[in-house]
């Protein structure tokens, strides 16, 4: 199914509205944030493994560019785009190219419950699970544990409870959808008021990156190689560690805004051309280069 919302509707409001029809918006993000904010900062998190991210689920948007024009992109059905999809272009642009007014997104059947399985903090355990019937909907790696989440109807939950035993988890918990959201949010959210970073490295290089970066309290999406941490760190060391691992990194200030973006020269030229096309007078948020 699909649903259309005003961009200023919060994630909590959207979920409550969808609950009445047994539907659910399968995205990670602060529940008090608006859908427009979550899309513009690309709040995609661990649920991407089972349900895709904003770029997969966003079907259409209306946004206002720097000249005040209302632009409609995409549509309200799953197969509707011919040519370049401006809906996806709005994901992760932090308001540099437009302010989102309305969105249309894919929705999913609301899970009846969830299972959380904890394993030793070894990423290769995820590789083994991905080719089994116990493929998780989300997976988070921390220095202490590898956590895998499963969501579904009552029959699916009962199956996971039994089937997971054969893989020798350290712990298996069954809880509600709300508890699962809270647990994942606690793991994935960065605290307010401190600088943070998000590194993108090959999943197999997560261990190498965190060892070289020398950061404490990190958390990683083990499936896609996204590593997040906050607090005290040396940006130069983080950037070098990401480069060595064959990845990239983005830094965020205490307000959660990106800074010190360093694209290669060709990408920088392209970004500047796009900025001029969408915002010739510079009325929107500047590109953080």
Please name each of the domains of the chain with its CATH number. Answer: 2-109 (3.30.465.10), 113-188 (3.30.70), 196-259 (3.30.70)
Q: How high is the pLDDT of residue 78?
A: 56
Token pair of 119 as six digits: 């394993």
pLDDT along the chain (289 residues), means of 10: 96 96 96 97 96 95 96 72 76 96 97 97 95 97 97 97 96 96 94 93 96 94 96 93 96 91 91 96 93
Residue 74's pLDDT is what? 81
Task: Report how many helices (DSSP H) and strands (DSSP E) the chain contains, helices first.
Answer: 11, 15
Q: What is the pLDDT of residue 242?
A: 97
Element (H, E) at 177: helix 177-188
In this structure, the number of other CB atoms found within 10 A of the CB of residue 235 comes to 13
pLDDT at site 171:
96
CB-CB contact of 23 with 3 (8 Å): yes
Enumerate the β-bridge partners of residue 113.
Answer: 152
Termini Cα distance of the chain = 39
Strand partners, 200: 226, 248
- Do the Cβ atoms of 58 and 88 come closer than 8 Å? yes
Rounded-to-integer distance, Cα 251 and Cα 236, Å: 11
pLDDT number for residue 263: 86
CB atoms within 10 A of CB 182: 13
Q: Which residue has the tokens 């992760």?
A: 92
pLDDT score recorded for residue 82 = 53
Q: Tokens 């540099």 sit at which residue?
A: 96
Q: Say which residue the tokens 């059905």 belong to.
A: 77
CA distance 170 to 125: 12
Strands (E), 35-112: 58-64, 70-74, 99-106, 108-109
């Amino acid at each position: 199914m699909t649903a259309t919302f005003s961009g200023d509707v919060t994630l909590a409001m959207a979920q409550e509205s969808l609950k009445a029809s047994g539907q659910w918006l399968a995205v990670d993000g602060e529940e008090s944030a608006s859908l427009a904010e979550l899309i513009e900062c690309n709040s995609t998190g661990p649920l991407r493994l089972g349900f895709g991210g904003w770029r997969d689920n966003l079907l259409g948007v209306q946004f206002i560019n720097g000249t005040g024009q209302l632009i409609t992109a995409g549509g309200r059905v799953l197969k509707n785009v011919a040519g370049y999809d401006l809906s996806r272009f709005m994901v992760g642009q932090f308001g540099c190219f437009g302010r989102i007014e309305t969105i249309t997104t894919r929705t999913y059947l609301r899970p009846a419950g969830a299972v959380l399985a904890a394993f030793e903090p070894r990423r290769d355990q995820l590789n083994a699970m991905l080719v089994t019937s116990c493929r998780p909907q989300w997976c988070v790696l921390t220095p202490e544990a590898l956590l895998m989440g499963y969501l579904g109807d009552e029959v699916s939950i009962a199956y996971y409870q039994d089937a997971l035993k054969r893989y020798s988890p350290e712990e298996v918990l069954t809880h509600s959808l709300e508890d699962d959201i809270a647990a994942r949010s606690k793991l994935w959210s960065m605290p307010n008021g401190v600088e943070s970073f998000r590194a993108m490295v090959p999943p197999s290089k997560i261990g190498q990156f965190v060892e070289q970066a020398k950061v404490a309290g990190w958390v990683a999406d083990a499936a896609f190689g996204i590593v997040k941490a906050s607090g005290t760190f040396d940006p130069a060391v983080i950037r070098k560690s990401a480069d060595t691992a064959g990845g990239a990194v983005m830094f965020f200030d205490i307000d959660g805004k990106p800074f010190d973006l360093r694209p290669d020269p060709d990408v920088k030229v392209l970004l500047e051309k796009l900025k001029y096309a969408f915002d010739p007078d510079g009325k929107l948020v500047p590109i953080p280069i």
